[in-house]
Structure 1
Amino acid sequence: MDCHGVASVIEIPEGSKKIVLVGNPNVGKSVFFNAFTGMYVDVSNFPGTTVDISHGKYKDDVVIDTPGVYGVSSFNDEERVARDVILYGDIIVNVVDAVHLERDLFLTQQIIDMGKPVVVALNMMDDVKRNGLKIDVKKLSKQLGVEVISTTATKGEGIQEVKEAIHRAKKGNRLQVVEDNILKVLGDVDEESEAVLLLEEDEHMLERHKLVLKYPLRESIYMERRRRVDEIVNQVVAESNQGASFKTKLGRWMIQPLTGIPILLFTLYLMYQAIGVFVAQTVVEITEEIIMGTYYNDFIVGIFTRFVEEGNFVGDLLIGEFGLFTMAPIYLLGLLLPLVVGFYLCLSVLEDSGYLPRIATLVDRLLTYLGLNGRAVIPMILGFGCVTMATITTRLLGSKRERFIATMLLGLAIPCSAQLGVIAGLIAPLGFKYLLIYLVTIFTVFVLTGTALNKVMPGKSTDLLIDLPPLRLPQFNNVLRKTYIKTLMFMKEAGPLFAVGAVTITIMQYTGILEGVTAFFAPITQGFLKLPPQVAQAFIMGIIRRDFGAAGLDSLASAGILSGAQVVVSLVAITLFVPCIAAIMVIFKERSWQESAAIWIGSFILSFLTAGVLAQLIL
């Protein structure tokens, strides 16, 4: 699409200027467009796309509204349309969200680099005070080299000033890297704006002018543009509590270590009280022991004993100790379902309130010591829901090095929601002492492993770039919908695996394989870990699924086979134990087989080594 292509969809009278409205999504461009054009609006479909653009008249000129974009590029239809209109616009009115300058000014600087006359409408200024901010508009105008006008478009404030400034629009201060290189390519294209996109390796521009890339400067220009925007924001924006809303102040407190850490600890305490105490003890006592363990168990056993004999293989397979219709549904529905619902309910509240990215910002410095950045807290928190799902989300991390470290820590020291629920249910009755021992042990292994990997692996962690949404009260319907969807996904995944686990364990028990494995691991479980031999069965079950193994420990603790200290040792081992089959499959899919094998073997060794050392100390 060239300038004639723009003219083919928009009638531009001779002598008229093309005034182009440009901005990020949801910055209020439509209000400005309506103020300029009134009722004289037309909509046309842009050739080769499904994108409609609005255009109308303002005095003798034509005003064109572009789709909301974050940059001028060729990544999708909206950006291609915006690029094609901006390239051949005469004057650019750039609408900027005053509260999010660090985001919006990237596009502003790119348009300035393109050599276009620009007027910046600094919109939503009414939100600036509510967010406890002060903006030096004159200094911002000087830094950019173009006129900047404060506006609150929804109230009509500043719009007339923008109209009057249009024909005073001027070119701004380009980046030095653009200034130094633009003459090298200007002879190959028609306009300065095209030359800048050529330097930024825009494929459309190379193809249109049948050129071969000579100056690969995209990364250099983008990095310099990001640095320049951050520098400008630091100079012109100041925080102030005067006039700031309580939500704004609270949002700031959440990311400052002095106040943020106590807030985080208090949040985790509330989650523990909700999941570890109320759900794991009160609710589960009703669902597991009464509804499923008594009423359901008696009902299902009564039905099957009419057709099968207890004690033979079929009887054990269906209604035995690890039966397909006894243990599997009792643990899945009575024990795990309420715990998983409780966890996802809490996680959905954190997500919907906007607190989750603030946790990422708060722990960024800590995670840097582990070779990660604050963004890694997202897969870590998701790992408390499902390690399999969290492993997939490590893709959002910036380097292969970070993805390996995060995957190793997920597989090693992050218990999934179902396992976490069983752990909470087992430890809560033991008192604070054993809870503290467990938490300190797991956290120590987590930190030492991450620190060691950070030291031995080449490279360093990438910087954290994350958008902090405004704090808001979670929407009840939205929280329930997220909880329902995630719980349903968990049940669909866990149900078949529990059935497979029940069948596998029953076969191993009936054929004597389970006793053989128990005897084989006896030197470790009984000697080094100082645990009863039956615990080996729980470890085997844990390979199939972590929470399946934790559920096995629950049955041993309920039968009085494990003491309080032995429960803690066995839980440390099962937490640090190798990831379940589903997680291992995803790890092998996401990482190379060498990395996956290292994670699997490393988890196996560290789990028994840590549990063994703990056993020597407390047993």
Structure 2
Amino acid sequence: MGCHDELSHIEIPHGAKKIVLVGNPNVGKSVFFNALTGIYVDVSNFPGTTVDISHGKFGGDIVMDTPGVYGISSFNDEEKVARDVILSADIIVNVVDAVHLERDLFLTLQVIDTGIPMVIVLNMMDDVRKQGIRIDLKKLESELGVPIIPAVAVKGVGIKEVKEKLYAAQVGKQPNYVRKAIHGIVDDTCSQADALLIAEGDIHVSARHKTMPREHRETIYQARRERVNEIVDRIVSITHEGSSLSTKIGRMMLRPISGSIILAVAVTLMYYLIGVFVAQDIVDITEDLIMRGYYEPIVRNVVGLFIPEYSILGAYLIGEFGILTMTVTYVFGLLLPLVLGFYFIMSIMEDSGYLPRLATLIDRIMNMVGLNGRAVIPMILGFGCVTMATISTRLMGSERERTIAVALLGLAIPCSAQLGVIAGLLAGIGAKYIVVYILVMLLTLGIVGKALHMILPGKPTDLLIDLPPIRLPRLDNVLTKMMTKSVAFIKEAAPIFALGAAIVTTLEVTNVLVIIQDALAPLTTGILKLPKETANVFIMGLIRRDFGAAGLANMMLEPAQMIVALITITLFVPCIASVIVMFKERGKLEGALIWLGSWVAAFAIGGIVAQVIIK
């Protein structure tokens, strides 16, 4: 339906219809997507963004799941992606939260106004009944002019009907305000959908058609909102009011005191599951025992029969940083358990309705450093694994916020493995140094975050977020999301890790690593007032953060020197796994700036502390 094909990254068979799932966040689209596509699902980044698009097959046609949005526009990456996918659709399945019709119908009417055939799925009808709400479905169908299917997705109710009525999709009723706004814009080269967005002032769609955006957005939006209110008044009635236990818990999550207590419990559980159980216990088995204990020796022995490990080719294949050794160990021994753990937790928090409440609770604090409430997830996960936390910055609403979040994660958030070593070393040098360490880390986070907030153009995106009912998540839905997203990420990450291993091996065989070590020596002795041998700690930290911190345990340092070393190693560049993911998420230029910035910040802040406390 759109004038431009924005889906070139998705293989669409000739003659196949594009069926697009559309809806607000947390309305249950994923359940219908999984039901339509089964296990034949792929996930890819939409070109030019870090937004994932899931797509699969239903018969001979292609089904695509768009990000949850509140409107078709270009206010953030999610809306831009949803807009472009919707404009290319042949059939739209609009999933609506029946409890929140006054909110969700705004998007529904905007989709109807595009003139694309659609069906509407009224999901969560069980919650409608529990809350004493009555919806006149026949009257709603008459008002909108498209098929309406009542559903309870988590119980499988309505899924069969969606499959049966999918191809009975209809073009909805067009109100006068739309016909008037697009008059003179629709022609042989521009569809009604594109014309609508041009009338609403969308600069991107207007640019595609080499025309100026119109200034009808406020008029159209106001008329659409009034129509939503009129429809809701006609079709919805309340029989009685009730407040279930889940509703009370949901309200408690938003209040400052009770919400903070619940947050503390959730953070603790998340940290122990991902930061301790997965990042330490599980990874000890998968990385150290299985991969380094069994896999790597076997691979070295087999490949070594044909290619000596001490040769240049052997170094690239089975050396310390080899493609067949370190790459496979990191991807499957380290990264895969963390990715599975992360997406398992995220799916539970999303399906239960807690994630949006957590973001709402913490939003005001995050605004101070140019972020919004969604940033709480990457920051918490950073204390488990900065690599995984960097991936999770995809939750953020804009590229600006992702840049700030990745920079703060790489600079001042120690991962669990490093934090464990640091905690042990801090315990041995006294309480006052523990206070110094914590204050320096907090000040660094605040100052750097505020500086990036002031320097980077733009402002934090508003936290426009749905607060769905609190409910028990469905295990099958959680596991499906976890596996689909984890497999997609590993497919993306594995080639990049192989490239990173090749680069590090090149530095090793050309002795550049030794040159870096010698270059760091004047900084460690001059600026940081530490022994020359401390340079080895930073080199080890390049490979694994905890290796660097552990290296300090074998050095004879005064308490003041130890605190300087610990501050510097914490602020020092992230480990190779985190750096590779950072370059993947933020691109070459931005990744390089963040990486180099970590070098400068680590030695600058460590040097300031050294000048103050080391006599």
| Structure 1 length-normalised TM | 0.56
Query: Which residue does 1:367 correspond to in 2?
Result: 366
Q: What is the total number of aligned residue pairs between the two structures?
A: 494
Does residue 602 of the first structure (1) align with residue 597 of the second (2)?
yes
| Structure 2 length-normalised TM | 0.56
Output one character per residue of 1:485-514: Cα deviation in whole Å (capped at 9) or x when no partner.
467976775577457646744763xx9x72
Letter in 2 for 1:461: P
Counterpart CA distance in 2 for 1:298 and 1:111 is 58
Structure-to-structure mapping, 1:3-22, within 5 angstroms: none
Classify 1:495/1:224 alpha carbon distance in 2 versus 1 (closer, same or farther; 3 Å).
Answer: same
Q: 1:201 aligns with which of 195, 198, 202?
A: 198
- Percentage of identical aligned residues: 38
Q: 1:611 aligns with which of 579, 598, 606?
A: 606
Query: Which residue does 2:105 correspond to in 1?
Result: 105
Output one character per residue of 1:448-471: Cα deviation in whole Å (capped at 9) or x when no partner.
212223234444222123345554
Q: 1:549, 1:574 within 8 Å by CA — same for their partners in 2?
A: no
Which structure has more relative contact order (CA 8 Å, sep 6+)? It is: 2
Counterpart CA distance in 2 for 1:269 and 1:528 is 37
Q: Secondary structure at the match of 1:422?
A: helix
Letter in 2 for 1:253: M
Q: 1:216 aligns with which of 201, 214, 217?
A: 214
Query: 1:127, CA displacement in angstroms?
Result: 0.5
Counterpart CA distance in 2 for 1:610 and 1:293 is 36
Counterpart CA distance in 2 for 1:331 and 1:151 is 49
Counterpart CA distance in 2 for 1:337 and 1:593 is 26
Query: 1:106, CA displacement in angstroms?
Result: 0.7
Output one character per residue of 1:301-344: Cα deviation in whole Å (capped at 9) or x when no partner.
999999999xxx9499999xx97299x96999699946973675
Classify 1:617/1:468 alpha carbon distance in 2 versus 1 (closer, same or farther; 3 Å).
Answer: farther
Q: 1:576 aligns with which of 571, 574, 581?
A: 571
Larger radius of gyration: 1
Query: Which residue does 2:465 correspond to in 1?
Result: 466
Q: Secondary structure at the match of 1:363?
A: helix
Letter in 1 for 2:535: A
Counterpart CA distance in 2 for 1:27 and 1:336 is 31
Query: 1:533, CA displacement in angstroms?
Result: 2.6
Query: Which residue does 1:4 correspond to in 2?
Result: none
Classify 1:377/1:227 alpha carbon distance in 2 versus 1 (closer, same or farther; 3 Å).
Answer: farther
Letter in 1 for 2:365: L
Q: 2:270, 2:345 within 8 Å by CA — same for their partners in 1?
A: no
Counterpart CA distance in 2 for 1:96 and 1:379 is 29
Classify 1:278/1:566 alpha carbon distance in 2 versus 1 (closer, same or farther; 3 Å).
Answer: farther
Letter in 2 for 1:201: I
Query: Which residue does 1:352 correspond to in 2?
Result: 348
Query: Which residue does 2:411 correspond to in 1?
Result: 412
Counterpart CA distance in 1 for 2:357 and 2:242 is 22
Counterpart CA distance in 2 for 1:246 and 1:594 is 50
Q: 1:199, 1:215 within 8 Å by CA — same for their partners in 2?
A: no
Letter in 1 for 2:266: T
Query: 1:217, CA displacement in angstroms?
Result: 3.5
Query: Which residue does 1:526 correspond to in 2?
Result: 525
Q: 1:271, 1:346 within 8 Å by CA — same for their partners in 2?
A: no
Query: 1:257, CA displacement in angstroms?
Result: 3.1
Output one character per residue of 1:538-584: Cα deviation in whole Å (capped at 9) or x when no partner.
42454xxx4x1424325524645567876664454344334567876
Higher mean C-alpha deviation, range 352-361 or range 230-239: 230-239
Q: 2:421 aligns with which of 423, 426, 442?
A: 426
Structure-to-structure mapping, 1:319-338, within 5 angstroms: 324=320, 337=333
Classify 1:428/1:277 alpha carbon distance in 2 versus 1 (closer, same or farther; 3 Å).
Answer: farther
Query: 1:424, CA displacement in angstroms?
Result: 3.2
Q: 1:124, 1:151 within 8 Å by CA — same for their partners in 2?
A: no
Classify 1:257/1:288 alpha carbon distance in 2 versus 1 (closer, same or farther; 3 Å).
Answer: same
Classify 1:421/1:506 alpha carbon distance in 2 versus 1 (closer, same or farther; 3 Å).
Answer: farther
Q: 2:551 aligns with which of 535, 551, 556?
A: 556
Gap regions ≥5 residues in structure 2: 2-20, 30-58, 63-69, 74-82, 159-172
Counterpart CA distance in 1 for 2:95 and 2:588 is 49
Counterpart CA distance in 2 for 1:367 and 1:568 is 28
Higher mean C-alpha deviation, range 249-258 or range 274-283: 274-283
Output one character per residue of 1:125-152: Cα deviation in whole Å (capped at 9) or x when no partner.
541464xx677989xx9xxx99xxx997
Counterpart CA distance in 1 for 2:442 and 2:329 is 30
Query: Which residue does 2:13 correspond to in 1?
Result: none
Query: 1:423, CA displacement in angstroms?
Result: 0.7
Query: 1:216, CA displacement in angstroms?
Result: 1.3
Q: 1:413, 1:442 within 8 Å by CA — same for their partners in 2?
A: yes
Classify 1:409/1:561 alpha carbon distance in 2 versus 1 (closer, same or farther; 3 Å).
Answer: same
Output one character per residue of 1:32-68: Cα deviation in whole Å (capped at 9) or x when no partner.
xxxxxxxxxxxxxxxxx9879xxxxxxxxxxxxxxxx
Q: 1:331, 1:551 within 8 Å by CA — same for their partners in 2?
A: no
Letter in 2 for 1:216: R
Counterpart CA distance in 1 for 2:248 and 2:222 is 32
Counterpart CA distance in 2 for 1:479 and 1:96 is 20
Classify 1:507/1:315 alpha carbon distance in 2 versus 1 (closer, same or farther; 3 Å).
Answer: same
Q: 1:288, 1:330 within 8 Å by CA — same for their partners in 2?
A: no
Q: 1:275, 1:339 within 8 Å by CA — same for their partners in 2?
A: no
Structure-to-structure mapping, 1:300-319, within 5 angstroms: 314=310
Counterpart CA distance in 1 for 2:412 and 2:561 is 19
Q: 1:102, 1:229 within 8 Å by CA — same for their partners in 2?
A: no
Structure-to-structure mapping, 1:40-51, within 5 angstroms: none
Higher mean C-alpha deviation, range 582-591 or range 358-367: 582-591
Query: Which residue does 1:341 correspond to in 2?
Result: 337
Query: Which residue does 2:475 correspond to in 1?
Result: 475
Q: 1:345, 1:483 within 8 Å by CA — same for their partners in 2?
A: no
Query: Which residue does 1:254 correspond to in 2?
Result: 253
Counterpart CA distance in 2 for 1:457 and 1:528 is 29
Query: 1:247, CA displacement in angstroms?
Result: 3.9
Letter in 2 for 1:101: L
Does residue 539 of the first structure (1) align with residue 538 of the second (2)?
yes
Q: 1:349, 1:479 within 8 Å by CA — same for their partners in 2?
A: no
Query: 1:475, CA displacement in angstroms?
Result: 2.4
Gap regions ≥5 residues in structure 1: 2-21, 29-48, 53-68, 84-93, 157-170
Classify 1:129/1:370 alpha carbon distance in 2 versus 1 (closer, same or farther; 3 Å).
Answer: farther
Output one character per residue of 1:400-454: Cα deviation in whole Å (capped at 9) or x when no partner.
5445434433443345xxxx24213313534776777655543432222122232
Classify 1:528/1:591 alpha carbon distance in 2 versus 1 (closer, same or farther; 3 Å).
Answer: same
Output one character per residue of 1:138-196: Cα deviation in whole Å (capped at 9) or x when no partner.
9xx9xxx99xxx9978899xxxxxxxxxxxxxx99x8xxx85x9657658989xxx999
Classify 1:331/1:475 alpha carbon distance in 2 versus 1 (closer, same or farther; 3 Å).
Answer: same
RMSD, matched Cα? 6.5
Q: 2:331, 2:490 within 8 Å by CA — same for their partners in 1?
A: no
Q: 1:505, 1:541 within 8 Å by CA — same for their partners in 2?
A: no
Query: 1:114, CA displacement in angstroms?
Result: 10
Letter in 2 for 1:374: G
Classify 1:249/1:283 alpha carbon distance in 2 versus 1 (closer, same or farther; 3 Å).
Answer: same
Counterpart CA distance in 1 for 2:576 and 2:311 is 27
Classify 1:285/1:563 alpha carbon distance in 2 versus 1 (closer, same or farther; 3 Å).
Answer: farther
Structure-to-structure mapping, 1:142-221, within 5 angstroms: 198=195, 200-201=197-198, 216-217=214-215, 219-220=217-218
Q: 1:98, 1:128 within 8 Å by CA — same for their partners in 2?
A: yes
Letter in 1 for 2:264: L
Q: 1:344, 1:385 within 8 Å by CA — same for their partners in 2?
A: no
Query: Which residue does 2:262 correspond to in 1?
Result: 263
Query: Which residue does 1:167 correspond to in 2?
Result: none
Counterpart CA distance in 2 for 1:233 and 1:277 is 51
